[in-house]
Amino acid sequence: MSRIFVVVWFSKAFVVPALALIVISGLLAMTLLRTSFEATSSLADAVCGKVIAIDPGHGGTDPGAIGRGGLTEKDLVLDIAKRLAALMNRVAIYTVLTREGDRTLAGGQDADIAYWKREDLDKRIEAARNAHADLFISIHANSFPEPMWSGAQTFYHSKSGDSKHLASAIQEQVVARLGPNLRKIKPGDSYYILRTATMPAVIVEVGFLSNPREEAMLGDPDYRQRMAEAIFHGTVEYLVEKYRSEKSARESHLKPPGEAATGGGSLKTTDLTLRAEEGEMILYFGGPTNFDDSLMPEIRKAPGDYSRADLRRKAICIVRELISGPAGESVLSPTIPKGTSLRDLWITPDGVAHVDFSSGLSKNHWGGSRSEELTVYSIVNSLTELPDIKKVQILIEGRKGSTIAGHIILDTPLGRDEGLIEARK
Ligand SMILES: [Zn+2]
């Protein structure tokens, strides 16, 4: 608490000299030049006094993803978060770190992360809300089953125009400063942090620990500093842009742009001209290349008397085939980790398939929020190809509200997400 007090006192006492210093030192010269920002006082208004919650993912007994060289997500994201906070404090932006040490935020801890992760994530949002944070920036690292995947990527919530604009500004800076990187921003509506945050929130995945080259770069303090600078400059760009648009809206007596509704235009499976014939099933696996990190369909001939089986038997068959992974000659990536088994599956009259997996689904998962999302929706989308299954509730060891890799809490039945499916024509 004393740390926050010092920052507040500092900014109140030195706000004018501090802002003069910004301009003199040219710390934000790039921002100023690129946005043709007219008045220095406006820049001050845009950033000064803003409160930003910085959330280093994982911590304590939850290491997050782990690189082959041993670098852990929890350590590297904490380091980047602290560097980012230092940069922001220098321009009189207040910061709140959701954790400052190697710890989780949940109280009494079960041995199994799935049982306390939700409380941990809730406390991160609570810390941001208590501090009246204007923005929430969660920092993570990614990991995929194949080492070739690389590139930092920012995720937003599709219901929040501000979240999308912030993600876009950060991604632009990350690409410009640390490229080459062809990754674009993506919606991550199922991530618990993004769907429960009460302020515009983004998740910055700073790179892939499963890629040896990127793990080595993330292990370098200079690279982490440049990553923090990229996130910082992107955030400032966003704040300045938002201030400008609100100011011009005020001046022209127009209402400021509201939360832009995004989304729409999502792909239907029928657009893929894919249709399972009698005795066939459509399964979803991970894309084949670095830039196809979406779900891609595979039509597979079902074993045995699938076409005559009842709904439950069909669903069990689909899950078993998903667990077995893409076909031998396929270039697609598996979404279910090895050592996972199906414990039980039942379908309630409301069309919800309850699928109970063994703990291998979370214990053996490679980590990373995007790969967790692909795992979840490979199951949901494959099962909802059956017309009588509307939603899917995933359970782990019989338990609802679990998590596979700590970013998505499985507390509610999930509907199909067509937006995650890549069209290959
Ligand atoms: Zn993570």
DSSP secondary structure of 14-33: HHHHHHHHHHHHTTTHHHHH
- Distance (Å) from CA 346 to ligand 1 centroid: 31
Does 96 lie in the same domain as 54?
yes
Residues 244 and 353 reside in one and the same domain: no
Centre of ligand 1 from the C-alpha of residue 170, in Å: 18
What is the rounded distance in angstroms from the CA atom of residue 186 to the CA atom of residue 218?
22
Give the distance (Å) from ligand 1 centre to CA of residue 236.
Answer: 24
Question: Cα of 140 to ligand 1 centre, how many Å?
Answer: 4
Distance 246 CA to ligand 1 centre (A): 34
For residue 8, report the distance from its CA to the centre of ligand 1, in Å: 30
Residues 237 and 283 in one domain: no
| 155 Cα: distance to centroid of ligand 1 (angstroms) | 12
Among the three residues 251, 279, 304, which one is the final residue of a domain in this structure? 251
- Could you tell me if residue 259 is inside a domain? no
Question: Ligand 1 centroid to 151 CA: how many Å?
Answer: 15
Beta carbons within 10 angstroms of residue 298's beta carbon: 17
**What's residue 17's pLDDT?**
42
Structural domain includes residue 402: yes
- Whether residue 203 is found in the same domain as residue 293: no
Question: Which residue from 50, 51, 56 is spatially nearest to 81, judged by alpha carbons?
Answer: 56
How many whole angstroms from 65 Cα to the centroid of ligand 1?
7
Handedness of CA 149, 325, 185, 86 (dihedral sign): negative
**Per-residue pLDDT at 277:** 77
Same domain as 228, residue 104: yes
CA–centroid distance, residue 185 to ligand 1 (Å): 17
Residue located via tokens 């515009």? 200
Distance 129 CA to ligand 1 centre (A): 21
d(CA 171, CA 52) in angstroms, rounded, equals 18
Same domain, 35 and 170: yes
CA of 398 to the centre of ligand 1 (A): 24
Amino acid at 147: P
Identity of residue 125: I
252 is written with which tokens? 């022209």
At 381, give phi and psi (nearest 5°). -70, -35
Distance 405 CA to ligand 1 centre (A): 7
Strand partners, 187: 156
Q: Identify whether residues 199 and 282 lie together within a single domain.
A: no
Residue 421 CA to ligand 1 center (angstroms) comes to 22
Question: In the listed set 206, 221, 251, which residue is the last one of a domain according to the structure?
Answer: 251
CA distance 312 to 301: 18
Residue ranges making up the domain that contains 387: 269-420
Determine the residue type at 151.
Answer: G
Whole-angstrom distance, CA of residue 178 vs CA of residue 206: 10
Residue 260 lies in a domain: no
**Within a domain: residue 262?**
no
Q: Is position 261 within any domain?
A: no
Q: Could you give the CA distance from residue 256 to residue 264 in angstroms, rounded to a whole number?
A: 23
- Measured in Å, residue 143 CA sits from the centre of ligand 1 at 9
For ligand 1, the distance from its centroid to the CA atom of residue 99, given in whole angstroms, is: 14
* pLDDT for the residue 216: 96
Residue 169 backbone phi and psi in degrees, to 5: -65, -40
Q: Are residues 10 and 60 in the same domain?
A: yes
Task: Write the CA distances from 41 to 21, 44, 157, 262, 312, integer angstroms.
Answer: 13, 5, 31, 33, 65
3-state secondary structure of 302: coil
Compute the distance from residue 78 Cα to the ligand 1 centre, in Å: 12
- Distance (angstroms) between ligand 1 centre and the Cα of 110 equals 20
Structure tokens at 360: 């291998």
Residues 233 and 278 in one domain: no
The domain tally of the chain equals 2
Burial class (CB within 10 angstroms; exposed 0-12, middle 13-18, buried 19+) of 60: middle
Q: What's the rounded Cα separation, in Å, for the pair 143 and 79? A: 18
Q: What's the distance, Cα to Cα, between the start and end of the chain in Å?
A: 56
Tokens 């199951």 -> residue: 379
Same domain, 246 and 152: yes
Output the CA 424–ligand 1 centroid distance in Å.
29
Nearest partner of 369 among 61, 121, 125, judged by Cα: 121
Residue 226 Cα, ligand 1 centroid: separation in angstroms? 20
For residue 305, the number of C-alpha atoms closer than 13 Å in the C-beta half-sphere is: 3
Using an 8 Å Cβ cutoff, are 370 and 149 in contact?
no
pLDDT at residue 13, as a whole number: 39
Q: Distance from the CA of 91 to the center of ligand 1, in angstroms?
A: 28
Are 222 and 358 in a shared domain? no
In the reported structure, the alpha carbon of residue 94 is separated from the centroid of ligand 1 by a whole-number distance in angstroms of 24
Beta strand 402-403 pairing with 409-410: antiparallel
- The Cα 2–Cα 8 span in angstroms is 10
Q: How far is the CA of 376 from the centre of ligand 1 (A)?
A: 15
Choose one of 251, 278, 298: the last residue of a domain.
251
Q: Residue 111 maps to which CATH number?
A: 3.40.630.40
Q: Are residues 194 and 339 in the same domain?
A: no
CA 398 to chain centroid, in Å, comes to 26
Identify whether 264 is part of a domain: no
Taking the centre of ligand 1 as the mean of its atom positions, its distance from the CA of residue 112, in whole angstroms, is: 17
Q: 258 lies in a domain?
A: no
Tokens of 141: 């690292």
Angle formed by the axes of helices 2-25 and 40-47, to 10°? 160
Mean pLDDT by 10-residue block, N- to C-terminus, for the chain (425 residues)? Answer: 36 40 43 44 73 96 93 97 93 91 80 80 95 96 89 95 97 93 92 95 96 96 96 93 84 55 36 66 83 80 83 93 86 89 95 96 89 94 95 95 93 90 57
CA of 391 to the centre of ligand 1 (A): 26
Whether 380 is in a domain gets the answer: yes
For the chain, how are helix, strand and coil distributed in percent, rounded to 5?
A: 40, 20, 40
Dihedral pair phi/psi, residue 323, rounded to 5°: -60, -40
Q: Compute, in angstroms, the gap from residue 77 CA to the centroid of ligand 1.
A: 9
